Every structure is written in structure tokens, then in C-alpha cells.
Copies of this chain bind each other. A is one copy, B any other.
Amino acid sequence: MPSPIVRKIAQIIEVSPRTVERALNGELKDTRPTIVARNARIKQLAREMGYRPNAAARAVATGRFGCIALVVMPEQELLPARMLRRLCTGLHERLDSELKVTMLTDETFERAEVNVPKVLAELSVDGLLVSPGTALHERAVDLVEANDLPVVWINVQGVHDCVYPDEIEISQRVARDMLAAGCTRLAFAALEQSPSKHFSRQNRWDGFAGVAAEAGVACRVESVAIPFVEQLPQADDPRLRHWLDVLARPDRPDGVLCYGVSAAGAVLQAAATLGLELGRDLRVASFCTNRPHAIMGPMQVCEVPFAEMADAAVAMMAAKLERGGHAESCAVRYHDYGFWG
């Protein structure tokens, strides 16, 4: 049975409810003025009476939900607003779909069958975008794959159905730029904790060190172990101490690529403290998740291309929804923006 509002409109206009629905859906292509006017009247009435089509009812009838889920992990800070933004608009434009955000918590993993999020336990979306951040829990993979919905993995490196940044290419670019600028002792600044499990850690090093090796230039890792703290960096931060030490050596590096801004902050501050002039004595480049708004110092910043990854993920989802099966993974290129102070 049609909704009360639709029935009331039907009564007023003196047509069947089905005709009202057709007019509302724009299914009527009759161009005769009478019909066109009637349809306009129907739409007008619907607006006045506050009619809104029930998306759930349509989903039941069509079997499509018009909704895609974004599955994320709780630890991660890796949910940049610009990615969310592009996912929203991309899904809207390309798939006429909305975005549901779900989180896999620790509880989800612990109590097996009990705490599965509704998106995975019920039928309510047409596909899954999974953005596990830096820590891809094994149980998460199982949970997602237990579902038979189309899946696209974001920022995960795999043979198919993955969208990830081309970390190697950008790292090579940075290394070449440093060499071209005359650097002779390269270093890769990293932290030892969690992100080390993420492919970006290895890829960034491989690309950077690979170019150095080819050129016969020294390159080493400077990795500081600090407990992974959710708290602010401290005044006697171990990262800062480490870099004060490294940059004081006679054979100090003159070109440093930092895994993230956390390491970069330490390098820059140490350099400033030691009176090194950036751009001359030392060149610094850093990856970052979000563009830093605060002044950090003259360095080159490589922003992880989350917006472009979102676009690629939507495109891949569209292809899978249409054709089914697996999709070829997609490495998204960094568009770095130079910034040599």
C-alpha cells in the first residue's frame, strides 16, 4: 500500500496512487500540457505536504541499498577529512549512494559472533570500503571477507581490490631531488613503533635507499624508539635527543626524509637548536597525513594522496558493482609540492 501522503495526493488529483508515484519519480514523459501541469501540481502538493520517499522501502523493492560502508579501525588517526569528503561526493555522483561509517573495535575481535557491527551482520549496504589505517588486524580481514559484498581496500597493498599510494615512486623522487641538490649523506628518519608494520614504512625506505645506492651515496635509517604515546611530545623528547645527537656528528646527514611529521618535528627542532641552516646545511623532507597548518620550517612535504585514493576507490567500487569479480589494484601517485623554504 502506498504511503498516506501519496494516497491523499492521489485522492486530490483524482488519479491512482501509482500515477502519483510515477509523477514524483519523473517516470512520465508525456509532454501534453495538461499532463505536464498535473505532474507539476503533484510535485507541488508533495512538497507542501512534506512528502519524502522512504529509502528503505525502495531498497526492499529493488534489492539495492544505495549505500556503501566505510569500515575503519579505532586506533587509527588515519581518517583524513579530505578522504571522507571525496568519498561522500564521489559516491553521490558516481553511484547515487551514501556513506555509512563503521568501526571495528577491539570488542568486535574478542567476542567472536557477538559484536559484529551491523553493517557486516545485516544486509544494509551494497559494498564495503575498508580503510584499516596502519594496523590491519587479521580478524578484520576475516570478518570482511566472510561477507560476500564487493570490497575495496584503501591504503592496503595487495594484488587486487586495493587502492594505495605509490610510496616507492615518491621516495625515489625525493632522493633524486636531494642528490641533485648536492646531498651526499642521506638518512631516513623513522619511529620504531606501530606504523613499521605498514607497507609504507618499507616502501619509503626502499625507494629512498634504492636511489642512494644506485648513486653510490651513503644512506641509513635513524629510527628512534619511543613508546607509542597518545600524549603530547615531551620537552626532553627522546626523538629530539636522538636528532640532537645525530646532527652534531661530523658525518651528520645532509638530506633527511622523515616517515612522518612526528619525526620531522624532531629533526627540524634539533637542526634549529644546533644552528644548522635548512636548505643549505641540511635538507629535510617529510611525509604527512594531514597538511600541517603550523609553521614547521623549510622542508619538502609529501602529503599522502588521500583525496585521489578516495576517487580511485569509488571508481573501483563502481566497476566491481557493475562487473563483479576482482579489480586490479591501483597505485596512486603522489603529487608532491616542493617547499624548500
Contact = CB atoms under 8 A, between A and B. Distances in A.
B52 A123 contact: yes
Nearest to A301: B232
Interface in A1-53: 47, 50, 52-53
A123 B6 CA distance: 14
Interface string A278-300: 00000000000011111111100
- Number of copies of chain A assembled together: 2
Interface string A139-177: 000000000100000000000000000000000000000
Interface in A49-92: 50, 52-57, 59-60, 65-67, 70, 74, 76-79, 81, 84-85, 88-89, 92
Given A262-B294, A296-B294, A60 B56 contact: yes
A240 interface: yes
Contact of A56 (B65, B76, B264, B265): B65
Contacts of A292: 232, 294
A264 B232 contact: no
A301 B99 CA distance: 33
A208 B157 CA distance: 49
A322 interface: no
Contacts of A265: 293-296
A106 to B, nearest CB: 11
A105 interface: yes
A323 interface: no
Contact of A122 (B53, B231, B240): B53
A26 to B, nearest CB: 12
B99 A232 contact: no
A100 interface: yes
Interface stretch (A113-121, A180-188, A196-204, A214-222): A113-121
A330 interface: no
Interface in A248-270: 260-262, 264-266, 269
Interface residues of A, number: 71
Contacts of A118: 55, 66, 92, 96, 98
A122 B52 contact: yes
Contact of A89 (B100, B105, B237, B239): B105
Interface of A: 47, 50, 52-57, 59-60, 65-67, 70, 74, 76-79, 81, 84-85, 88-89, 92, 96, 98-103, 105, 113, 117-119, 121-124, 148, 230-233, 235, 237, 239-240, 260-262, 264-266, 269, 272, 290-298, 301, 337, 339, 341
Minimum-distance CB pairs A-B, first 6 = A265-B294, A56-B59, A55-B124, A265-B295, A235-B341, A56-B56
16 contacts: A47-B113, A53-B123, A57-B60, A74-B85, A88-B103, A99-B101, A100-B100, A232-B291, A233-B296, A235-B341, A261-B293, A261-B294, A262-B294, A264-B294, A265-B294, A265-B295
Given A88-B103, A265-B294, 14 more contacts: A54-B122, A55-B118, A55-B122, A56-B56, A56-B57, A79-B84, A92-B117, A96-B118, A98-B119, A99-B102, A261-B293, A261-B294, A262-B293, A292-B294
